[in-house]
């Protein structure tokens, strides 16, 4: 009878790899927001469609302490995902970005935002439609508003077309439900599939070319 090599080493190796991947994912989930934000950190609020995506797009840059998904801009107190999904509460899906001003200034954050949105879509962003998915900058000071408004003028001149991104006064930020926070880490397969199916990166590359996703910035992590 022909003898075959034992499959046990292969099975053992495969099982070890699976356990390693599982523990890596668990660690990334448990540490998702386990960061200390210094008292002198600055914060900014932006809307760019799906907060799952823009959360990751900001977090890849040096100088970012943390990015939280949430809701802002409406009148409903303590909004929920289900409530804002109707599109009639005045809220948008937003992110609150905490950053180190010595490494990134507000103008750079605005640059990152622009290159992660479709600036010509007045009805939402990519495959997500409705007011809650429209793009916006929420300046908290007159200086930030000036930066935001100048950026809009510069982008419209650069792209030779009017943009639909809104510049609205900063409003109260409400944290989204826990399962939305760091969704790209908690559910990487679902996140990647959603982002691809939504056509986000394809559209960004069509609009921004090599500048898409702000990966050209010196502060971008690779």
Question: pLDDT tens for residues 34-63?
Answer: 678 999 999 999 999 999 999 999 999 999
Q: Is residue 162 part of a domain?
A: yes
* Residue 23, CB-side half-sphere exposure with 13 Å CA sphere: 6
Our answer to whether residue 127 is catalytic in this structure is no
Q: Is residue 2 part of a domain?
A: no
Q: Is residue 113 part of a domain?
A: yes
d(CA 163, CA 74): 22
Q: Is residue 3 part of a domain?
A: no
User: What contacts 110, CB < 8 A, 6 or more positions away?
Assistant: 137, 147, 148, 151
Q: Is residue 14 part of a domain?
A: no
Domain range for 125 is: 39-214
162-179 tens-digit pLDDT: 999 999 999 999 999 999
d(CA 169, CA 73): 8
Q: Is residue 193 part of a domain?
A: yes
Instruction: Please report the pLDDT score of residue 15 as a whole number.
Output: 55
- Whole-model pTM over 0.85: no
Query: Structural domain tally of the chain?
Result: 1
What the block records as the tokens of 169 is 């006064």
Q: Residue 75: give its domain's CATH number.
A: 3.30.1060.10
Burial of 132 (0-12, 13-18, 19+ CB in 10 A): buried
59-89 tens-digit pLDDT: 999 999 999 999 999 999 999 999 999 999 9
Between 155 and 28, residue with greater pLDDT = 155
Specify whether the CB–CB gap between 148 and 168 falls below 8 A: no
Q: Is residue 28 part of a domain?
A: no
Q: What are phi and psi of 220, to 5 degrees?
A: -70, 135
Between 19 and 74, residue with greater pLDDT = 74
Q: Is residue 127 part of a domain?
A: yes
């Amino acid at each position: 009878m022909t003898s075959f090599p034992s499959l046990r080493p292969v099975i053992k190796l495969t099982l070890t790899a699976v356990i390693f991947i599982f523990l890596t994912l668990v660690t990334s989930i448990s540490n998702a927001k386990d960061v200390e934000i210094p008292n002198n950190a600055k914060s900014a609020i932006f809307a760019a469609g799906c907060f799952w995506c823009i959360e990751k797009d900001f977090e890849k840059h040096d100088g970012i302490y943390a990015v939280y998904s949430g809701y802002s801009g409406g009148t409903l107190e303590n909004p929920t995902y289900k409530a804002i999904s109707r599109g009639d509460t005045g809220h948008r899906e937003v992110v609150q970005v905490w950053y180190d001003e010595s490494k990134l200034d507000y103008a750079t954050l605005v640059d990152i935002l622009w290159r992660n949105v479709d600036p010509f879509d007045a009805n939402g962003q990519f495959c997500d439609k409705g007011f809650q998915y429209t793009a916006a900058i929420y300046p908290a000071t007159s200086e930030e508003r000036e930066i935001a408004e100048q950026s809009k003028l510069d982008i419209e001149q650069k792209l030779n077309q009017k943009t639909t991104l809104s510049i609205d006064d900063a409003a109260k930020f409400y944290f989204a439900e826990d399962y939305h926070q760091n969704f790209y880490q908690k559910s990487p397969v679902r996140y990647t599939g959603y982002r691809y199916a939504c056509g986000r990166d394809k559209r960004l590359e069509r609009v921004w070319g090599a500048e898409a996703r702000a990966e050209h910035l010196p502060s971008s992590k690779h």
